[in-house]
Structure formats: C-alpha cells, structure tokens
Amino acid sequence: MLKHDYMQVSQDQPTYFEAPLQLLLFVDGRPQSRQQVQRIRAYLKELQAEYNFEVQIIDVGQQPYLAEHFKLVATPALIKIHPEPKQVLAGSNIIAQLKNWWPRWQTAVDAYLKLQEDLQERLDDNGRVSPPKSTINSVAVSAELIKLSDEIFHLKQEKERLQEQLQFKDRVIAMLAHDLRNPLTAAAIAIETLQANYNIEAGEFQRLKPAMAAHLLKQARTQAKIIDRLIADLLQVGRGNDKELPIIPQKIELGQLCLEVLEELRDRYTAKSQTLETDIPSDLPCVYADPERIRQVLVNLLDNAIKYTPYGGKITVAGLHRTTQKVQFSIGDTGPGIPLESRDLIFENHFRLQRDQSTDGYGIGLCLCQRIVRSHYGQIWVDSSPNGGAWFHFTLPVYPF
C-alpha cells in the first residue's frame, strides 16, 4: 500500500502546486534490509528540515506490480519521479548516491520552479493558473491501473495457452482418427475373410488352411490392440493439458517392426501387383523409441507409398546405421514424387498437393509422422528417388545400452 510517510509544502508557494521534488521509496519486509531502510528514512528526515520535497513509501510485498512498473531489480530503492527525468538509486549505498545527486536534483528543482513562475504569467481563459500534473498523487490510481493491466496481460496469456491447447487437441484428434482407418480396414478384411470361409454347419473353415486361419485371427487381434491404443490416445489428449504427444520409449528392433507392418499391408500392395524390395541389415542396431508411435510412422509412410505407386511399381524399404547415435530408415516408391518447392510444406497440417485433391486422404499423416519423429529427437525429410518417385527418410536414436 502507498504510505504518506511525510510531506512538506512551502507556505509561500501557491497551494495548487505540489512539492517540486517528489520521491518514491520502495521497501520490502526482509529483516536484513530493515536497518538500511531506517537509515535512509532518517537521512531523508534530516533533509526535510532544510529542503521542500515529498516522499511516499511503497511496500513491494503488497504492490509488486508497482515494482514491475518501475522495472526495479532490487530493494530498497529510491526513485526521483519529479522533476523529470526519472532516476533510480538502488544498492547498499543509497545514502552515498543520494548525497552525490542531491545538489543536481536541487538544480533541477530550481529550473522547474523558474518554469512555474513563468507559467504563472500565462493565465487561462478563466483567469486561473493551470496547475501542473501531479505525478506522485496519481501513483495510487496508477497502481490500480497497473494491477488491472497486469491481470489483463496474464488473462491474455492464459487465453492464448488454452487456444493453443485446443488447436493441438483438434490436430491430434484429427490425426489419430485418420490413423484409425488403417487398422480398422486390416481388421475388417481379416474378419470378413474368416467369416466368408467359415461353415457354421460343419464348424470349420472352408478353403482356408489352419495356418492361414490362425494368421488372420492374429492379424485381427493385433489390429484391435492398435485401435485400442489409438482410442486411449484420443481419450488422453481429450483430458490432458500436454502439448506434446505422449511417448513411452523402449528398446525396439526397427527392422523387425517394419517387417511386421509390411506383413499387415501385404494385401494392399499385392492387390496392385507392386514389387517390394527390402534392404535392412541384420546387424542394424536397436533404437530407443515408442513402438506404437513408430508403427504409426511406418504405416503412414508405407500406406502413402502403396497409394501413390502405380500398378506394377516398386516399393523400397532400407535401413542404415547412419552414425553411432542415429539409425536412418528410408521408404521409396516409384510414384509421381514430391515437387522440390513442396518438400517442406507436405509436413504441414492439412497440406495437400494440388494433384492429390481428388485422392482419398486428409493431409495429416505426414504431419503426424513429423511430430512423432521430432518427439524422439529425430528428423524426417523427403527427396527424389533415383528411379523416380519419392524417398522418405527418418532418423531415430540408437538404443544406448
């Protein structure tokens, strides 16, 4: 709170003038600064016996926004707010600084009083002298305005944070909903194939060998688990405040995980008579990553490769131990490729090439891939394939143990 600690106004000065020298003393409640504050106040009391000035005491613990307003970095601090320019004295030697500056302040006061004398000769239309603005008397009002301004600033920050969270949730929900299509399709194909070949009367599968029936059942179970994980992610994003995708890294064999995804997508690329070529070294190091998240990356990249590779084309999958800390994985196709000017844009949310507007998709798969890879401190990019088409590459950290 503001304290009118002491004030003195010269009697021969017109009553509408405030004290020509106006000071603010900022104090705090620390025991170690109490003696210093007492010395400063005692010295100011001595000066008041000879000089005309006004002081107000401000407790920064009760009005911290005033300390912010005056950009104070330490207390106690003595501020000359009138006459201009403003000046701040702070530190452990405020009295010594005050002794040094006091003569100059008095010179500024004399200049100010001379100016006021000149102003008295200029009357307004009603024959009265227009009083100057009192800076120190407006501090109490300014304090409330500063407080309100500070609260408004924090409310704006909170609003922006909430808007960012909502936008993030919208993006993630759209991405995860997009990724639900792949496992749903795979599970549906497996279940429909089993159903179409099951003879209820005989109680057995017709035209399906036991190994194939077991494989389809396993496929349906695997896809159901993926769907369950995606739904769990949707629920977590819906109730959470995090702005990053939840990542649970562990030791995984990236090559083996890729082969499993390729097996899940076999029906897709065989239906288009596409050739699959793999170059995954047997000694490729394990990576430290979330297997379900990386499965999403592989599914999205391979799904795009299958989608854009023409009938009878070729899809290439390669692994590379790029450095001692990184493993690089690449997926190439013989599709139309990505124009050079669009190679950064394709990773933006909902971005789609003009040529792909009629193609099934929402333009969020690659954005999701980028978020996942970056959450693993990796990189993802695209360049041209030597055989035409596109090469998508991403890196992941090597498992450290």
* Domain finish residue from 66, 99, 134: 134
CATH number for the domain harbouring residue 170:
1.10.287
- Count other C-beta atoms under 10 Å from residue 98's C-beta: 18
Q: Supply the CATH number for residue 107's domain.
A: 3.40.30.10
What DSSP assignment string belongs to 131-152? PPP-TGGGHHHHHHHHHHHHHH
- Give the strands of the sheet with 380-384, arranged side by side: 275-279, 314-320, 326-332, 390-397, 380-384
Residue 268 shares a structural domain with residue 210: no
Q: 333 with 386: CB under 8 angstroms?
A: no
Q: What is the dihedral of CA 42, 48, 50, 51, to 10 degrees?
A: 130
Q: How many helices (H) and strands (E) does the chain have?
A: 9, 14
Same domain, 123 and 144: no
Same domain, 254 and 392: yes
How wide is the angle at C-alpha 199 spanned by C-alphas 195 and 204, nearest 5°?
A: 95
Do 163 and 230 lie in one domain? The reply is yes
Dist. CA 312–CA 142, nearest whole Å: 76
- The pLDDT, as a whole number, for residue 301 is 92
Task: State pLDDT tens for residues 141-179.
Answer: 555 666 677 778 778 888 887 887 777 677 667 766 766
Q: Could you give the CA distance from residue 348 to residue 266 in angstroms, rounded to a whole number?
A: 29
Q: Are residues 399 and 260 in the same domain?
A: yes
* Integer Cα distance of 54 and 135 in angstroms: 11
User: Which of 212, 243, 274 represents a domain boundary (last residue)?
Assistant: 243
* Residues 254 and 379 placed together within one structural domain of the fold: yes
Is the pLDDT at 307 greater than 80? The verdict is yes
Read off the pTM.
0.48
User: Are 81 and 127 contained in the same domain?
Assistant: yes
Give the CATH number, domain containing residue 383.
Answer: 3.30.565.10
Query: On the CB side of 104, how many CA atoms lie within 13 Å of its CA?
Result: 9
Mean pLDDT within 217-240: 70
Per the structure, the complete domain to which residue 115 belongs is given by 2-134
Proportion of the chain above pLDDT 90, given as a percent: 24
Same-domain status, 120 and 169: no
Residue with tokens 């494989």, as numbered in its chain:
215
Asked if residue 375 and residue 361 are part of one domain, the reply reads: yes
The total number of structural domains in the chain stands at: 3
Per-residue model confidence as pLDDT tens digits over 89-135: 988 899 999 999 999 998 888 888 887 777 766 655 455 555 544 44
Together in a domain, 219 and 259:
no
Q: What's the chain's average pLDDT?
A: 78
